[in-house]
Structure 1
């Protein structure tokens, strides 16, 4: 049986980068992966400007100002944001200036209006002198022209979108989204919203897997819910292989009498890379590839098993296909015993949190592979290798944050 470590190595060796790139507009970049470095086209700030509303002065002229002995200066000019001064600051005067307005030549400090007699007169009293150079944003102090804003391989978040907008970047070159097909099988399954018979169950796998795949920056090209039927499964797989770079299935991959997924993949020429991993949950997971490097993950039907296998194996593969780095794993300290398995790598959902400059982890109460309520309140997958005895509280464990949360 394949180990978890071996499974990761096999998938990494098999996964190929999608070379195709597209130019996407700024408002459609969230979740996409950059295909090239993005650099600043100009300095930021572009010009030296006021950090707040007040008066631009020569520091030496107001250095001794106080409430008891205010310094009085006439206003020689007024500057609003977007207005460039056409003359230097006259000696012995001040400039009324608004936040973001260019600081006039000769001025070296901005005094907030709260520390003066205010904006209502053409002569201003200064009651306090800040430090020399205070309240001025100097040209280029944040970033210089040509500086790296985001490197190729970065998954774009709202932070990058805001940064690109700041520099007037209206589009960026990104990796084409991997195309993914999702197939779930089971005579007993009904889609949410359908009428349900006494012995049927609702299909949570299809909407959950689709949401995870889309959150990973991929494009779901088709979804199918199928009965346990050989021909239907084979035809759906053939269509999925034709139009997708990754095929995800859930159900029908174990060794039961009505599990037809394996034989259908074999009949379609998919090369098995591994089938069955020494893990709990998710032991029956299958991974294969076509001659054209299309990846197939056949996941178990139990919802927790399917999700764990997608998070552990499918999403890292999707990241590599886009030139991105798979999710980082963290070491945390257990709050309570971890129920390890003697022979299999164990995965559980948990709650990761920062406490006293360290990471700690609390396990979800539900631990069985059909109990999707284990996700309630969870923000990570917790894992531990095989062991003879439960890990005691205080033991280190490996945690992978769930891709849709960053609470810890």
Structure 2
């Protein structure tokens, strides 16, 4: 493993995704399905809504009988029915009358609209005065207008958000089949690292905190995986062997640091001893060039750089898509946003550069991208970003106002 491959980012991503396979399914209660991938497309067993119902509190009417109503010339009609939510009409709407109806309640046959209560006197007795005919053909939600029986409500591989969970509930899906969460070992490497029980060493300036272990575990959890902490491997091949052995039950491993060319970087040596099948080591990407990927015991193994920003960027671009594929998501890669550069940007011409950026909006309405801080591979604070802006190979400068692609990392709010 001493020879570098220096492949392109696209080649590396293709190799990573090719090695990732969905891990199978499990059945969970609908209440525990949020954020999981749906393993089988879900069909509606009944139409939704299940009947024509009112979108407003008001009065069900026939348009021809309220046309021309105004504050100066109100239309006065008797109330022939009163339909609260949970009840049903006594029958069709009687000609020359209205039916009081609440939001969500069925509207009687023959009604063409629901005049909202704000456009009436409220119907204080057996009659109602209607002051506006604008609602005479509005505010009825028709049977099946949202979903028809037999429609596929949620596609296989979709991430189950709140709306999808609600749709599954309407179909009576108390239990759902979802993709199994990958169990991923998280390993940090280096004598210089400390955990919380050694934080006094950090305070004294003799060690650095193992931020990568916690960051990678958090990224895995956000991606839909179950992180399995393997601790900190010291600069000792024996310790590294022992910690990798703890990952026996894991579906994949992500290891931070120890994959470069330093005298005490033992990860590649130990991997070779364990029969590692390398796909690549080093690629034309910044940050994250010193990345190794392959199969260890048939399982995907990533060795990401130890510098914090490099580790997090490498995870987002080369690990997360594979983890999402293993978890059964149909779209493992985030969709890029089209933005314009808020200021001039530079990057080395010979590699694909990912810059950490904040997203805003210009007066024109276009999304803008500006650097989130210093871009050094050790600048962890700049990862409090909205996205990663890609400067492609062959480009060393982007001018203010030029179009750029940004991979979103989190939700963002435009400035007030």
Partner-residue secondary structure (3-state), 2:358: strand
Hey, which bits of structure 1, 4+ residues long, moved more than 6 A? Answer: none
1:193 Cα deviation (Å)? Answer: 6.0
**What is the alpha-carbon root mean square deviation over aligned residues?**
2.1
Partner-residue secondary structure (3-state), 1:336: coil
Partner of 2:254: 248
- Aligned pairs for 1:286-365 within 5 A: 286-292=292-298, 294-324=299-329, 325=331, 326-355=333-362, 356-365=364-373
Partner-residue secondary structure (3-state), 2:176: strand
Aligned counterpart for 2:22 among listed residues 12, 17, 20: 17
Q: Which runs of 5+ in 1 are unaligned?
A: none
1:313-344 deviation per Cα after TM superposition (whole angstroms, max 9, x unaligned):
00011122233222123443322232311433
Taking a change above 3 Å as real, the CA distance of residues 238 and 55 of structure 1, as seen in their structure-2 partners, is same
Partner of 1:385: 392
| In structure 1, distance between residues paired with 2:387 and 2:229 | 28
Partner-residue secondary structure (3-state), 2:356: strand
Contact 1:25 1:170 (8 Å CA) reproduced? yes
Normalised by the size of structure 1, how large is the TM-score?
0.92
1:354 Cα deviation (Å)? Answer: 4.4
| In structure 1, distance between residues paired with 2:141 and 2:395 | 62
Partner of 2:213: 206
| In structure 2, distance between residues paired with 1:160 and 1:60 | 39
Matched, 1:239 2:246: yes
Contact 1:44 1:139 (8 Å CA) reproduced? yes
Aligned counterpart for 1:366 among listed residues 346, 368, 374: 374
Matched, 1:143 2:142: no
1:388 Cα deviation (Å)? Answer: 7.5
1:391 Cα deviation (Å)? Answer: 3.3
Aligned counterpart for 1:128 among listed residues 127, 132, 138: 132
Count of equivalent residues: 403
Taking a change above 3 Å as real, the CA distance of residues 322 and 406 of structure 1, as seen in their structure-2 partners, is farther
1:159 Cα deviation (Å)? Answer: 2.8
1:124 Cα deviation (Å)? Answer: 2.2
1:187 Cα deviation (Å)? Answer: 1.3
1:262 Cα deviation (Å)? Answer: 0.8
Taking a change above 3 Å as real, the CA distance of residues 64 and 398 of structure 1, as seen in their structure-2 partners, is closer
1:353 Cα deviation (Å)? Answer: 3.5
Matched, 1:46 2:47: no
Contact 2:21 2:325 (8 Å CA) reproduced? yes
Partner of 1:188: 192
Partner-residue secondary structure (3-state), 1:316: helix
1:103 Cα deviation (Å)? Answer: 1.0
1:2 Cα deviation (Å)? Answer: 2.0
Taking a change above 3 Å as real, the CA distance of residues 70 and 14 of structure 1, as seen in their structure-2 partners, is closer
Matched, 1:4 2:9: yes
Partner of 1:179: 183
Q: Which runs of 5+ in 2 are unaligned?
A: 1-5
